[in-house]
């Protein structure tokens, strides 16, 4: 995304809106990450915690779910820009809280949460599904600098009567925390009848109705990538972790599978609640829905990490920042390279970490294929015919797997496809006449060309 913005400026106008930025984040929600996270957090596959190979089979409240909490802490510690707290509120109760502080409005808090404890072994849907969804959103959003503060909260002892969430909500109210919204995730992976329906449970408390309306609006805005049908449940159920926030007059909703249509997990609260009952494609879309909401509320204010090359000099766009250049191939920082520019002596892949207002973002890796600027500005793709009526052909020099995406002039992604071919044809006959952009993205590069549809 960062590189798209810089190329647009070179073309003479900065046309990618924040809406496109959010689409980019939605697209990063990965079904394979979700699947592997679910398998690990419901004990189907082993993982490593505290340097030991373990299976997180047992997350039963009070009987040894500390391993699950330790896993969450380690996963969160691997991410950037988070402050992690073990919120131990009783001898056996332990919430795990990760805070990503907003750079513009640090006191405005958006909280995404779910319980990690369980009533039996496995319990993939209840509630590994919500837990892993939050981890996936944290994985993606923590790479961004955000205007408002995001709290990722993992509650303990929901199954004993919402104890973890209640303790936190009461303490937050006592502190006067300005929690603007609470998105609670509990059982979000089951769609037995395959109708893609889900529930938003809401009540007329604080701005919860408005929050529900915003979620529905986002579902409509991003319906090309989120295939879900919403049921509004009002008055919503009190039987999950949003309830203690309602009790403190905070804005909150529950998002989950369609209990309102009796389409809830058939293995609810048993050890048969396993990954094999999860509808991964439905679950994927549910997490994308949450991503759309959290990214919108976070306010994405990216540092401009686009890199340009002139001869043997790399320069990052962002001014007035703290810089650290990195060699992507050994993932090591380059000691002493803390300026906006980097003098390169060897071909390779370079990135830079840019810190503004205490928030660090790392650029994409920039591949240096020549130290001669004349070679560098040469394009690696050509696009023809231009203007076109029915097909656009993209010719390129590489056969790396690439994604080809067509955008309109407002930055809305209209279609996308993947190919390894050096000659790729995209049908554009359905587009109305006007200017468009074709983006070609590989693991090594991203290039954008403008074209005209007649």
208-219 in b/e form (b: 16+ CB < 10 A) is bbebbebbeebb
H helix intervals, 365-417 = 373-377
Q: Which is nearer to Zn ion, 126 or 447 (CB)?
A: 126
CB of 14 to Zn ion, least distance (A): 44
Question: Are the C-beta atoms of 224 and 27 separated by less than 8 Å?
Answer: no
CB of 118 to Zn ion, least distance (A): 8
CB of 45 to Zn ion, least distance (A): 22
Question: Are the C-beta atoms of 310 and 373 separated by less than 8 Å?
Answer: yes
Q: Which is nearer to Zn ion, 130 or 411 (CB)?
A: 130
Alpha-carbon dihedral of residues 7, 11, 12, 18, nearest 10 degrees? -40
- Footprint (CB under 5 A) of Zn ion, residues 390-449: none
Question: Are the C-beta atoms of 297 and 285 separated by less than 8 Å?
Answer: no
CB of 171 to Zn ion, least distance (A): 22
How many residues of this chain interact with Zn ion, rule: CB under 5 A? 3
- Footprint (CB under 5 A) of Zn ion, residues 100-129: 126-127
x/- track of binding to Zn ion for residues 125-154 (CB under 5 A) = -xx---------------------------
- Footprint (CB under 5 A) of Zn ion, residues 244-303: none
CB of 377 to Zn ion, least distance (A): 56
In angstroms, the CA 69 to CA 71 distance is 5
x/- track of binding to Zn ion for residues 170-209 (CB under 5 A) = ----------------x-----------------------
User: Which strands, in side-by-side order, build the sheet including 413-419?
Assistant: 413-419, 402-408, 434-441, 446-453
**Which residue, 120, 121, 81, is CA-closest to 98?**
81
- Footprint (CB under 5 A) of Zn ion, residues 351-370: none
Q: Which is nearer to Zn ion, 114 or 411 (CB)?
A: 114
In angstroms, the CA 55 to CA 32 distance is 19
Assess 241 for contact with Zn ion (CB under 5 A).
Answer: no
In angstroms, the CA 301 to CA 313 distance is 27
CB of 263 to Zn ion, least distance (A): 16
Binding site for Zn ion (CB under 5 A): 126-127, 186
């Amino acid at each position: 995304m960062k590189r798209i913005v810089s190329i647009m400026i070179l073309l003479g106008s900065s046309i990618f809106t924040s809406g496109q930025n959010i689409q980019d984040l939605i697209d990063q929600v990965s079904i394979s990450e979700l699947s592997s996270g679910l398998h690990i957090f419901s004990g189907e596959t082993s993982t490593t915690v505290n340097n030991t190979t373990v299976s997180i089979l047992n997350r039963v409240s009070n009987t040894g779910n500390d391993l699950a909490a330790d896993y969450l802490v380690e996963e969160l510690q691997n991410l950037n820009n988070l402050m992690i707290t073990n919120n131990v509120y009783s001898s056996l109760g332990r919430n795990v809280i990760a805070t990503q502080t907003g750079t513009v409005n640090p006191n405005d808090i958006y909280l995404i949460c779910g319980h990690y404890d369980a009533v039996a072994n496995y319990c993939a849907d209840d509630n590994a599904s919500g837990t892993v969804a939050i981890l996936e959103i944290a994985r993606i959003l923590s790479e961004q600098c955000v205007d408002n503060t995001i709290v990722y909260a993992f509650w303990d002892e929901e199954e004993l009567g919402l104890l973890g969430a209640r303790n936190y909500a009461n303490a937050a109210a006592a502190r006067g925390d300005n929690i603007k919204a609470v998105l609670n995730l509990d059982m979000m992976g089951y769609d037995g009848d395959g109708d893609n329906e889900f529930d938003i449970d809401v009540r007329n408390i604080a701005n919860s109705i408005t929050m529900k309306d915003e979620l529905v609006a986002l579902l409509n805005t991003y319906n090309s990538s989120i295939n879900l049908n919403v049921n509004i449940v009002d008055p919503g159920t009190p039987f999950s972790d949003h309830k203690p926030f309602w009790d403190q007059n905070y804005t909150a909703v529950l998002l989950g599978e369609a209990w309102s249509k009796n389409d809830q997990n058939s293995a609810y609260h048993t050890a048969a609640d396993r990954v094999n009952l999860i509808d991964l494609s439905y679950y994927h879309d549910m997490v994308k829905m949450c991503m759309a909401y959290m990214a919108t509320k976070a306010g994405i204010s990216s540092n401009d990490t686009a890199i340009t090359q002139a001869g043997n000099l790399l320069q990052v766009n962002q001014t007035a920042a703290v810089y650290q250049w990195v060699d992507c191939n050994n993932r090591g920082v380059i000691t002493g390279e803390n300026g906006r520019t980097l003098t390169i002596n060897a071909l390779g892949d370079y990135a830079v970490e840019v810190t503004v207002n205490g928030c660090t973002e790392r650029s994409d890796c920039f591949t240096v294929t020549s130290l001669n600027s004349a070679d560098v500005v040469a394009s690696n793709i050509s696009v023809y015919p231009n203007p076109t009526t029915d097909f656009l052909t993209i010719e390129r020099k590489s056969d790396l797997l690439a994604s080809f995406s067509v955008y309109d002039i407002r930055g809305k992604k209209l279609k996308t496809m993947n190919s390894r071919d050096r000659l790729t044809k995209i049908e554009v006959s359905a587009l109305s006449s006007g200017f468009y952009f074709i983006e070609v993205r590989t693991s090594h590069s991203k290039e954008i060309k403008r074209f005209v549809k007649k």
